[in-house]
Amino acid sequence: MATIDPQIQQRAQLWLNAPYDIETIEAVQAMIDKNEVSELTDSFYKDLEFGTGGLRGTMGVGTNRINKYTLGKATQGFSNYLKGLYPSEEIRVVVSYDSRNNSREFAKIVADVFSGNGLIVYFFDELRPTPELSFAIRELNCHGGVMLTASHNPKEYNGYKAYGRDGGQLVAPHDNNVIEEVNKIADLSKIKFEAKEENIKHLGLEMDDTYIQGLKALSLNPSIVEAQKDLKIVYSSIHGTGITVVPKTLEAWGFRNVHLVEEQAKPDGNFPTVVYPNPEEQDAMMLATNKGKELDADVVMATDPDADRVGVAVKDTDGVFQLLNGNQIFSLLAEYVLGSYQESGQSFNNRYIVKTIVTSNLILEIAKKYGVRCYDVLTGFKFIGELMTLKLGEEEFILGGEESYGFLIGDLVRDKDAVVSCAFIAEMTAYFKSKGKTLFEALLDIYSQYGYFKEKQVSLTKKGKAGAEEIKEMMDQFRATPPKYLGGIEIVSIKDYKTSRSLTVSTQQEEVIDLPKSDVLQFITSEGDVISIRPSGTEPKIKFYCNVKLAKGSNIDYQESQRILDEKVDLIMKDLI
């Protein structure tokens, strides 16, 4: 019979007495009685930590689970940090939540702890998207905020995204400082679970109206939208928060022919129609795509549970709906937005766009064409938000995005925003239709102009303590003995963001990478391919990002290019896993 590690046993034993509630005590005792070693280990071997997406994990009892006590401890630590950071101010925070199971109850716990610490809490009466929380923090001049969500993770998950005064997710040093405050809390008596209801203010439809009107003002071609107001749009919220504001936003922009996927329109934390509520997945997009076929829609869109990511399907040249990947959606948005700026005679001086280091370099090529500066930041949209805040008053943000289906146009929000993205995707569909083109044909024009690019992400899931150790060993091995070739193509440079060093292989010359340290490796080939490897900050995975390309002027069609590039990715991955 397997035996539990003594340290983990000791950590679990602490949860068997008051002040833990009876349900928690019984759940922990049951695991011990049944000798559920693996579950006990995963539940107690560590404390949940802030990653690229904040605090996220499986719901349940234990220090490594999302529950009343881990959320209470995180909120108490966050409260202590805010009070230390703003000692002479009345501190205000916003709390919102998505459609996941327990999200409202968890949000109320968070609001209670904030209020118990004397903070003023603006609490959304009903579930709302993550980007609206970010907007509300700035609109209400608050000092921070929390969103209860696990984004597109499976239904067993929930999470806690912490935001700063700028409306962006916490970044260094604030994220680490909050963790320090959390770790100082030695016992539950330090957590002020008792609410001061007079400190809790409720937010309703008025914030929706302000947010939507702000987004509407960002429209670049309202006259084209008016001419194409009957554009046929299919939208699904995949049982999430998008249903609360995306249809209203599309209507405010002037679109009059929006069709909802009714089977997925009701918020539901069990996500009954999908395996994963992730618009990157074909399964999650299937109902929306089927409705698109039925209606012969111009564009199909779906958002994840907290409405910060959007998936898109469009008809190809044969009239068959194809899912676009995140890099393709971002490329289309970049070409459309920058092209519209140019057509209207706007200058790109002191304006910029942003992508992450694992996002396609096609974005960089588009930026070069228009003469606009393109910044690279680390993986995680919080770093795009951080850059926006750093550049405020010096340079103007146009748009930013990442390969994982998160985009932002305009500076109303400091996080990825599927609400404004849906509006702009609809607007650019209308724009290209006015030119006699579908979105897919516009994408083919981009490839014709810049060369064929293809991106594929491969993830290996390694769960629990053993999995975390295995992922670390894999990263160590790649650093100790990096490949010289991938898929038969020579590696010409290696970027290690953990050591902040970029190595030119042929000369062994090193340069400093001017970004914060992060556990990311990149191998760049002689053909300009970029292969990035990183452990996920929010999931038990090691991720491989393969961004491959063919030279401009390749005399082949799109389908053939994809076949060749797929083979290239397969050969590269065989050398890595």
Q: How far apart are CA 327 and CA 337, in angstroms?
A: 15
Burial class (CB in 10 A: 0-12, 13-18, 19+), 378: buried
> Catalytic one among 43, 115, 151, 518?
151
Q: How far apart are CA 554 and CA 538, in angstroms?
A: 39
Q: How far apart are CA 416 and CA 104, in angstroms?
A: 22
Tell me the Ramachandran region of residue 488: left when phi exceeds 0, alpha when psi lies from -120 to 50, beta otherwise. left
Stretch (H or E) spanning 73: helix 68-85
SS3 content of the chain, % helix, strand, coil (to 5): 40, 20, 35
Gap between the terminal Cα atoms of the chain: 33
493 is an active site residue: no
Q: How far apart are CA 531 and CA 576, in angstroms?
A: 10
Give the contacts of 469 (CB within 8 A, at least 6 positions apart): none
573 to each of 24, 162, 210, 569, how far by Cα in Å?
A: 44, 35, 47, 6
Stretch (H or E) spanning 160: strand 157-163
Tell me the backbone φ, ψ of residue 497, rounded to 5 degrees: -75, -10
Grouping H, G, I as helix, E, B as strand and the rest as coil, residue 114 is helix
Q: Strand pairing of 55-58 and 501-504?
A: unpaired
Q: Tell the residue number behind the tokens 């084209």, with chain if given.
A: 224
Contact present, 502 and 468 (Cβ < 8 Å)? no
Cis peptide bond prior to 173, omega within 30° of 0:
yes
> Chain-centre distance of CA 162, in angstroms?
14
Q: How far apart are CA 301 and CA 384, in angstroms?
A: 23
Tokens of 238: 């995949």
Active site members? 151
